Structure 1
Amino acid sequence: MEDPEELAKAVSEAASRDGRRLAIVESLTGGLVCSDLAASPGSSEWFRGGVVAYDRTAKHGALGVPDGPVVSEPAVRTMAEKAADLLGADLTLAVSGAGGPEPQDDQPPGTVWFAITDRGDTEAWVEQTESDDPQDVLRHTRIRSLQALLKHLDG
């Protein structure tokens, strides 16, 4: 499934069944994933909210991301863990990446780091999109974020 609206609806149904409270912390996607979830049916029952920290200073200041690259595993792990605490969520997804067309933090365009904190356990992974076009990178990241949430809820 690759339609964001359908994925968000599936996440909503799974979260309603599961009972976990979800939160999102976004950089690269600038609130797209939060918007998808907030617009899905029943979201007021399980969606705790989101944080959009697009600027490097916001990530370091508001979310306590360690000094250094923000397109990195330590950055997304910290983002997910801090947002989970801040918003009182059981399942929190964080995303940060080099949206293109230029590199960021020595990462090529299309590099996207994800992290999920699920009841205190955090995992992180990196993906490289096939395109360095910013709109393609955003679409890929939006879809993969929703798919990751759905996998954790249905897993």
Structure 2
Amino acid sequence: MQDPADEFAAIASEIAERAQAAGIRVATAESLTSGAIANALGAAPDASEWFTGGVVAYAESVKRDVLGVTAASITSRECARELATGVARLLDAEAAVSVTGVGGPEPEGDEPAGSVYAAVAVRGDIRDAHFSFSADDPSVVVHQTVRAALELLRDALPELEARGA
């Protein structure tokens, strides 16, 4: 099994290349991952050139008061989308990734443990995803969420132009 740090570093390196090639600045808004996505991006190559920072919006008041979330549920697709657009606006970034959900081990309201919503906003285009991860251990849910969010961000950024052209 690959070390999570190595796994995240490899994806973050791809994000770094794509963001730099496209001249895109990236930000994060995180709830259940508590800054783990920002940590992975901040450790990527030349992060100071393309990574603007992140907001750990664990508390509902931070989601609403700082990032402008109006969604009825803070563990929803709409919330994830508003987190992404809110942090992009706040940190003056062209791209942002966000996650919110239930890390577990217990459910929250109607959401089962392991239910995670993620969103990526790139220059006004918003993509979102819902994941249902294993909820046996909250740390496993966090790991799975970080990987999924990094992959979602990587896949939303423009592909690199052919090299050597």
Whole-angstrom CA distance in 2 between matches of 1:37 and 1:142: 11
Indicate the residue corresponding to 1:143 in structure 2. Answer: 147
Indicate the residue corresponding to 2:122 in structure 1. Answer: 118
Indicate the residue corresponding to 1:40 in structure 2. Answer: 44
Contact preservation (8 Å) 1:25, 1:83: yes
Long gaps (5+) in structure 2: 160-165
Match of 2:28 among 5, 24, 28: 24
Of structures 1 and 2, the larger Rg is shown by 2
Whole-angstrom CA distance in 2 between matches of 1:11 and 1:121: 17
Identity %, equivalent residues: 37
Contact preservation (8 Å) 2:95, 2:123: yes
Q: Please tell me whether residue 12 in structure 1 is matched to residue 26 in structure 2.
A: no
Amino acid of the structure 1 residue aligned with 2:106: E
2:118 aligned counterpart, secondary structure:
strand
1:15 aligned counterpart, secondary structure:
helix
Indicate the residue corresponding to 1:90 in structure 2. Answer: 94
Long gaps (5+) in structure 1: none
2:157 aligned counterpart, secondary structure:
helix
Contact preservation (8 Å) 1:69, 1:105: no
Whole-angstrom CA distance in 1 between matches of 2:12 and 2:32: 18
TM-score by length of 2: 0.88
Deviation readout 1:89-142 (Å, 9 max, x if unpaired): 111111001000011231000000011111012122211013341011000001
Whole-angstrom CA distance in 2 between matches of 1:60 and 1:132: 29
Amino acid of the structure 1 residue aligned with 2:31: S
Task: Give, in angstroms, the shift of residue 61 of structure 1.
Answer: 1.6
How many aligned positions are there? 155
Amino acid of the structure 2 residue aligned with 1:93: V
2:155 aligned counterpart, secondary structure:
helix
Q: Which runs of 4+ in 1 moved over 3 A?
A: none
TM-score by length of 1: 0.93
Whole-angstrom CA distance in 1 between matches of 2:125 and 2:71: 23
Amino acid of the structure 1 residue aligned with 2:97: L
Q: Please tell me whether residue 60 in structure 1 is matched to residue 81 in structure 2.
A: no
Whole-angstrom CA distance in 2 between matches of 1:105 and 1:131: 15
Question: RMSD across aligned C-alpha pairs, in angstroms?
Answer: 1.6
